[in-house]
Structure 1
Amino acid sequence: MPVITKIAVQKKNQSRYNIFLDHVYAFAVDEDILIKYQLTKGKELSEQDLTRVQHEDEIRKAYHSAIQFLSYRMRSALEIRAHLQKKEWPDSIIDVVLQELTIQKYIDDLEFAKAYVRTYANSGKKGPLVLRRELANKGVPEIKINEALAEYNKEKQVADAIRLGNKYAAQNKKLSERMLKQKLEYTLSTKGFPPEIILAAMDGINYEKDESLEWETLKAEAEKMKRRYKKYTGYEYRRRMQQALFRKGFTIELINRFMDEDAEEG
């Protein structure tokens, strides 16, 4: 049987050791493996010993890779599995690593889901429907998703939707009231807020305009349209202007008022 003739600590990683068998480098092991199997100079190793030691060292390397991946933020079990698969670790080793991480509480899909919901709900950037979809994509079981989302109650969802809506409304003052309302509802929907939350939030969002402000908004938009349709005259010009302004969300009453006043000035 081969004999350990030299053990040398690695220069770049002091927790790993190079093992030499019969004066030839054979493999490297983690410090924990070195101690567990009492690998010392002069010890003989059978083929079975070599297989066991090297297999367990592969597990330790995969484990350390997972720990490093976890050092940036919490991860779901599925995310860690995908990470290790990209590193080309076999499933047999990944299963052992995930089991050990779970025992040590490094992996807890419920706590991960709760932290994920708290992070994005507190920022107000994602509604419950988006959070549910993203957590499902990360492999979190539905029962744990439901428990995590229970902390994101309807009152907070409405408050977050109102805050997002008011921010959007302030950035899009040039839109007509009707168009702004439509875009607000669409934006909140894409953020993951359900219809009943959006409906409740709209009452608290400052998107409505008084007639004078809506009129000024229409005039600014109409001036752009006039340049676009200046090659048309008469009925065709009026029709195209009316259609374009209506698509922008202005009422037919305000549109006709502008067209009549503009015709008088012309």
Structure 2
Amino acid sequence: MAVITRISAQQKNDERFNVFIQKGPKEEFAFSVDADVLIKFSLQKGMEIDEEEWEAIIEEDQYRKAFNKALHYLSFRMRTAHEIEVYLEKKEVPEATIKRVLQKLSEYDFVNDETFARSLVRSRMNTSFKGPGMIRQELKKKGISDRHTEEALNQFSFDEQLEASISFIQKQFSSGKKRSEKEQKQRIAQQLQQKGYMWEVIEMAFQEAKISQSAEDEKEALLAHARKAHHKYKKYTGFEYESRMKKFLYSKGFNSDVISELLNGDEINDL
């Protein structure tokens, strides 16, 4: 049994109080508590505290500090339960305390994974070209359940995915990039796949985007790649040179007729 001899506010934080007890002939510091904990346990000078009460006070104060840390973490943006759990774990908060904090935050609706998932999906739809697949991975990393994830992704309809894909295609495709039309389309399709769009959406988006490269730009792209290839393979002659040039240019999306026309024409001498 310990007896409280003194309670004083901390100099740097008047919301926390230092509690001192009598230990033998001397007074010594026992613990510090939040103002709410002080009130909850009616701590005052002369009060006797047994071991069980002591542990309860420390546990309650630990919970209060963890709860305030979580509120501060939430003040910057919405968080998932998993994000808060990881944050508090890094702060070395005990597992039982973390569960209690998350339960209270949920009761106040400060943490709601379903709301978070829906909000994130809407945000990505409105501010990025991310597709459902990439958003799904993002939600998974934040600890959102499969059920909440799929419910939230239902907002991203096929038509909206198609519209976003068309906008991305039109934004990325540009004449004068010195790439063949085919290569540009392949690159853009790959980017859309990486962003998490289904091939069905991508294919239809290209049909509706109606993009094409002028004959002049296609020819300029061909010549630009031909110069690079010539510089690389000029040490070869005859069939070996022609074979390597064709293979290189074909890999860049140019059709065989255009390649043959270049290699059999006068322009090959100007490379």
TM-score range (shorter-chain normalised) is over 0.9
1:50 aligns to what?
54
Q: CA deviation at 1:120?
A: 1.3
Measure, in 2, the Cα distance between the counterparts of 1:65 and 1:9.
20
Q: CA deviation at 1:206?
A: 5.4
1:137 to 134, 138, 141: 141
TM-score, scaled to structure 1:
0.93
Q: Which amino acid aligns with 1:76?
A: T
1:171: Cα distance to partner? 8.7
**Matched-pair contact (CA < 8 Å) for 1:124–1:161:** no
SS in 1 for 2:49: coil
1:101: Cα distance to partner? 0.6
Deviation at 1:207, TM superposition (A): 4.1
- How far off its partner does 1:224 sit? 1.7
Q: For 1:140-159, what per-residue CA distance to the aligned partner results, in whole angstroms no more than 9, with x for missing partners?
A: 12222122112222222112
Contact in 2 for aligned 1:16/1:30 (Cα 8 Å): yes
User: Structure 1 residues 195-204 or 77-86, which shifts more?
Assistant: 195-204
Secondary structure of the equivalent of 2:48? coil
Residue 8 of structure 2 is aligned to residue 20 of structure 1: no
Structure 2 counterparts to residues 121-132 of structure 1, below 5 A: 121-132=125-136
CA contact (8 A) 1:246 1:252 kept: yes
Match of 2:67 in 1: 63
Matched residue, 1:7: 7
User: Taking structure 2 as the reference length, what is the TM-score of the superposition?
Assistant: 0.92
Change (3 A) 1:152 1:264: closer
- After superposition, give the CA deviation of every residue in 1:12-69 in whole Å (9 maximum; x if it has no partner): 2222111111231111111111111111222221111111000111111111121122
SS at match of 1:203: helix
**1:32 partner amino acid:** D
Moved more, 113-122 or 201-210: 201-210
- The separation in 1 between residues aligned to 2:119 and 2:175, in whole angstroms, is 30
CA distance in 2, matches of 1:93, 1:172: 61
Pick from 223, 227, 234: which aligns with 1:223?
227
- Structure 1 CA distance, aligned partners of 2:63 and 2:69? 10
Aligned-pair RMSD on alpha carbons? 1.8
Partner of 2:104: helix, strand, or coil? helix
Equivalent pairs, count? 266
Aligned to 2:186: 182
More displaced, 170-179 or 12-21?
170-179
1:139 to 1:264, Cα distance in 2 relative to 1, 3 A: closer
In structure 2, what is the Cα distance between the partners aligned to 1:158 and 1:15?
55
Q: Which residue of 2 aligns with 1:212?
A: 216
1:237-252 matches, cutoff 5 A: 237-252=241-256
Q: Could you tell which deviates more after superposition, 37-46 or 24-33?
A: 37-46
Residue 208 of structure 1 deviates from its aligned partner by 2.1
Other-structure match for 2:33 = 29
- List gaps (5 residues or longer) in structure 2: none
Identity %: 38
Name which of 83, 87, 93 aligns with 1:83: 87
Unaligned runs of 5+ residues in structure 1 are none
Deviations 1:214-246 (A, max 9, x none): 112101211121111121122211111111111
1:261 to 255, 260, 265: 265
